[in-house]
Structure 1
Amino acid sequence: MRASLSGITVRFGALTAVDNVSLDIEPGEIHAIVGENGAGKTTLMNVLFGLVQPEAGAISLDGKAMRWASPQDAIRHGLGMVHQHFMLQESMTVLENIVLCAEPVTRFGFIDFAAARRRLAEVAEEHRISIALDRPVGRLSVGERQVVEVLKMLYREAEVLILDEPTSVLTPLEKDRLFATLRSFRSAGKAIVLITHKLDEVMELADRVSVMRGGRLVRSGRLSETSKEEIARGIIGGELPPARQRTARTPGEEVLSVCDLQVSGRGGAIGPLSLSVRAGEIVGIAGVSGNGQAELIQAVTGLMPLLSGEIMLCGRPIGHLDVEDRRRIGMSYIPEDRQRMGLALGATVSENANAGRDDRAAYTRGPFLNRAAMARFARQLIERYRIRVGGTSAFASTMSGGNKQKLVVGRELARDTPLVIAENPTWGVDIGAIDFIHGELMRKRDEGHAVLLVSTELDEVLALSDRILVMYSGALAGEVAGAEADRERIGSMMTSRAADALPEVA
């Protein structure tokens, strides 16, 4: 099926998100759409999928004009979309999620789950996909949840598949298997749209690439006719920044100390873990997702109770303190999940930018909030981090994923605390923003702050860390000095606990 967008324009208040864009999506191709955060990539595909109504423009499938009243219309005509933040009901099983709103029924009006299982068995066999249909989604790994989203599209017989940042939180093995699955879809004649910031993945997988900047389509063509450098220049509108160099320095006093820490994990107890972070150093934690990194960070930040052990921050024991008290002593936290933990999506950009700062004298007038001062601070973050949004009074829910991430990063680094915990800080942000955020973390380190970095991006850990700790199976597998670390050495200390999340595809 060939999908075409012609002259699409979308505005959100004063913000023009998509500006007169025309694009063709061909069957049997993987079409990558790249661009800065807020460039309009996801909004354009949301138009194609029926989630956003354009102010101008038209949609056609195989030359026939279409107009969607809702995403259900698009789904019925063969479109499917996997969003950056999954649209799954965690309390329901895999099978229930897949058939939701598309349930087969018996002649007596009951849901025919047996028929759904048979249909899914056919789809799974065709594409060599395997997953337990009766497991609750809330118990699945990120990679397994993505399998569910893909199966939802196939169950509805989608011919145009749209995937928004599909590898942001996948392990390397899960990513490889997803790519094999997408190649299988391409061989079956399906049209695939891949929205991504990862240019290495574009070069590995795509047949065609389109670059958007500031809501406009600035270039589009076959991948074989361009280069990674040309694509990058198109994204940022100029030359790439030079690679950052980490200067050696002697760290100061211990800021964070974790001693014999044990916490509950999905497969049993995590730990005992012992580590320290000193002033003026970045300690990176590498490891395949699911090996205890999340539980460690939740314990340090106060989001998970300890089974045993001790945590010290700035010389004070904090294991018994709640999140607010730990932040008050001197902890900033950039969480992995910006949707549920980093932001209040129903609040404004200004309110989110000032979260955790409301008790400061500069932001209050007696018992009331000083809204003007809050807006000034929010504007500073918007300008410094190049956050694309319709203003300080816009709701956080209207922002793209990458711009949400930049808002969280800017707010937390502005708190100027002795300890910064950064968990996948560049998830879903563009190449220019990645470089800026890396620079901000290194600036914090050079100013004498302690930084604990957890990232599933090994290159990020290698680029920033003075020391690297590797986690495997809930324990620390070893420590390597940043200057001595390389991909092979760190990679040999890592393994995947999610080997069956995505299947092999021939």
Structure 2
Amino acid sequence: MPMRVALCGITVRFGALTAVEDVSLAIEPGEVHAVVGENGAGKTTLMNVLFGLVAPQAGAIRLDGQDRRWTSPQDAIRHGLGMVHQHFMLQESMSVLENIVLCAEPAGRFGLVDFSAARSRLRRIAEQHGISLALDRPVARLSVGERQVVEVLKMLYRQAEVLILDEPTSVLTPQEKDRLFATLRSFRTAGKAIVLITHKLDEVMELADRVSVMRAGRLVWSGRLSQTSKEEIARGIVGGALPPARQRAVRTPGEPVLAVRDLEVAGRSGAVGPLSLRVHAGEIVGIAGVAGNGQGELIQAITGLAPALSGEIALCGRPVTHLDVERRRRLGMSYIPEDRQRMGLALGATVSENANAGRDDRRAFTRGPFLDRAAMARFASGLIERFRIRVGGPSALAATMSGGNKQKLVVGRELARNTPLVIAENPTWGVDIGAIDFIHGELMRMRDEGHAVLLVSTELDEVMALSDRILVMYAGAIAGEVAGTEADRETIGRMMTSRAHQALPEVA
């Protein structure tokens, strides 16, 4: 049954940090309500209040006019709310069906789980909304897009009438995004209320019925999409004029910093490669491609996270194919990983401890055998200020930060190492407009100062805006190369879905 939701005067504080201040918001059935804002603006925190993950210091939740106070997310779920988090919460060793019914198992004879009843009910739900997914497959074998479908099915199985999705397309391919949006339109037609937390304004303009803009914990504007424009939303997010488009200065690249020759590495469905590429000092080489075409395996082999089956990797003229991660980093490699949760940060450690992880100048923050906590905090404070990281301070736990601020901490730490080679893997995933511009500017600065930058991104606009040369990967191979000055979406788009000889025009 369609349900009206209202958040009234919500205030949330984490110590000295006010994450949400006196925010009131109405969520209507049969609408897609986009909530946008900078990293740390309070979007996710506000929705975590609605879902029962965070208890507010002030304010109320109203469902169909009645005040509610949740004791847990399970309480919110029982009242028809569901949430898909930015980082999925699935058990990889279990099947799709087992994940969906977990903690909501239908009881059969003798108290056993009635999987047959659950399967029949899920098939009806999937058919109703045009969803297709094998229920017996282990989650570990699913793509990112398929895992998101599992999370959505979990909500529907629990009869959610209000669906909250936090950055749902941040790691999806264009095709997966289109399928997700078709499903969300089906939900809207069925009268469900959908809350979309996102940084991608093109998606807001494509899907949303209503938009709410948050900045520094406050609601600065809320209304129907038809009453505003993409430019006005962007200005509301950043609190002023948008930054101008960045221009690449023309420069002659220097000597090769990274050289990869005939590299092969194990992939999900066979070997990736052989791959050969070079990245010179003073240039950004971008790798474009639909996710899952071997980019991840290539980066794992270059950074030392996965062994090479064959081929050679050289860094600053020295062979590193058989060196471990630490020795490659000491030779001059920084790495901004795609997964900030599992690889980029230790969430249980402080911001200060994370900021200083992997630093080469260890004498600067040690006193004999002991850590110099004051020096570590000063360095972390510098990163917080320079990269505009919204957090309670160096002593705050990394787990308390929003996803975008976690990303800025990882980017700041790695760029501060000032190494000859920077590998940036989806460096602006889940960050806001202002932060994207700042991170792009920092990568450009590294390039202009003579560093080599290898950029891997599923955002084609990002690759085209930053890269001096663009390599396109398809089916585990490099489909072709395009100069940054000659790149266009149509040519690269064709190369992303076909071999180079099919994508590039014939030479007369």
Which of the five TM-score ranges fits, normalised by the shorter chain?
A: over 0.9
2:167 match: 165
Poorly superposed stretches of 4+, deviation over 3 Å: none
SS in 2 for 1:404: helix
Matched, 1:97 2:99: yes
Aligned residue identity for 2:359:
R
SS at match of 2:25: strand
* Offset of residue 496 of structure 1: 9.1
Question: Deviation at 1:94?
Answer: 0.5
The equivalent residue for 1:500 is none
2:28 counterpart of 1:23: no
Q: Does the alignment pair 1:352 with 2:354?
A: yes
Secondary structure at 2:496 match in 1: coil
Contact kept in structure 2, 1:33 and 1:210, CA below 8 Å:
yes
Question: Which residue of 481, 486, 489 corresponds with 1:487?
Answer: 489
2:124 and 2:135 map into 1 onto residues whose CA distance is 14
CA contact (8 A) 2:49 2:55 kept: yes
Give the aligned partner of residue 505 of structure 2. none
| Residue in structure 1 matched with residue 375 of structure 2 by the alignment | 373
User: Which residue does the alignment assign to 1:502?
Assistant: none
Distance (whole Å) between structure 2 residues aligned to residue 159 and residue 246 of structure 1: 48
Distance 1:355 1:69 in 2: 37
Q: Does 1:459 align with 2:457?
A: no
Which position in structure 1 is the counterpart of 2:333? 331
C-alpha distance in 1 between matches for 2:395 and 2:8: 32
Q: What is the aligned partner in structure 1 of residue 137 from structure 2?
A: 135
Moved more, 100-109 or 431-440: 100-109
Which of the numbers 279, 282, 287 marks the counterpart of 1:280? Answer: 282
Which of 367, 385, 396 is residue 387 of structure 2 equivalent to?
A: 385
Report the TM-score when normalising by structure 1: 0.97
Structure 2 regions of 5+ residues with no counterpart?
500-508
Residue 266 of structure 1 pairs with residue 232 of structure 2? no
Change (3 A) 1:180 1:496: farther
Residue 123 of structure 2: which of 113, 121, 124 is its match? 121
**Whole-Å separation in 1 of the counterparts to 2:381 and 2:371:** 17
Distance 2:478 2:420 in 1: 24
Question: 2 CA distance for matches of 1:432 and 1:234?
Answer: 11
Change (3 A) 1:496 1:226: farther
CA deviation after TM superposition for structure 1 residue 392, in Å: 0.5
Q: What CA distance in whole angstroms lies between the structure 1 residues aligned with 2:271 and 2:360?
A: 37
- What SS does the corresponding residue of 1:200 show, helix, strand or coil? helix
8 Å contact from structure 1 (residues 301, 326) kept in 2: yes
Amino acid at match of 1:432: G
Instruction: Determine the structure 1 residue equivalent to 2:303.
Output: 301
- The 1-side partners of 2:232 and 2:46 are apart by 22
Residue segments in structure 1 that go unaligned for 5+ positions in a row: 498-506
- Hey, what's the Cα distance between the residues in 2 that align with 1:14 and 1:433? 23
Q: CA RMSD in A?
A: 0.9
| 2:122 maps to amino acid | L
1:10-89 pair list within 5 angstroms: 10-89=12-91
- Distance in structure 1 (CA, Å) of the matches to 2:488 and 2:64: 49
Deviation at 1:495, TM superposition (A): 2.1
Which structure is richer in relative contact order (CA contacts within 8 A, separation 6 or more)? 1
Counterpart code for 1:490:
I
Residues 117-151 of structure 1: CA distance to partner in whole angstroms, max 9, x if unpaired?
Answer: 00001001100101111111111100000000000
Identity of aligned residues (%): 85
Residues 61-95 of structure 1 show CA distances to partners (whole Å, capped at 9, x for unaligned) of 11111110000000000000000000101111100
Contact 2:360 2:417 in 1 (8 A): no
Letter paired with 2:451:
H
Does the residue aligned with 1:108 lie in a helix, a strand or coil?
A: helix
1:246-266 deviations in whole A, cap 9, x for unaligned? 111100000000000000000
Q: How does 1:302-451 map to 2 (within 5 A)?
A: 302-357=304-359, 360-451=362-453
CA contact 1:59–1:66 (8 Å) conserved in 2: yes
Cα deviation, 1:158-201, whole Å, max 9, x if unaligned, reads 00000000000000010011111100100000000000000000
Worse-superposed segment, 293-302 or 59-68: 59-68
Counterpart residue number, 2:292: 290
TM-score norm. by structure 2 comes to 0.97
Tell me the amino acid that sits aligned with residue 166 of structure 1: P
Contact 1:298 1:304 in 2 (8 A): yes
Contact 1:357 1:363 in 2 (8 A): no
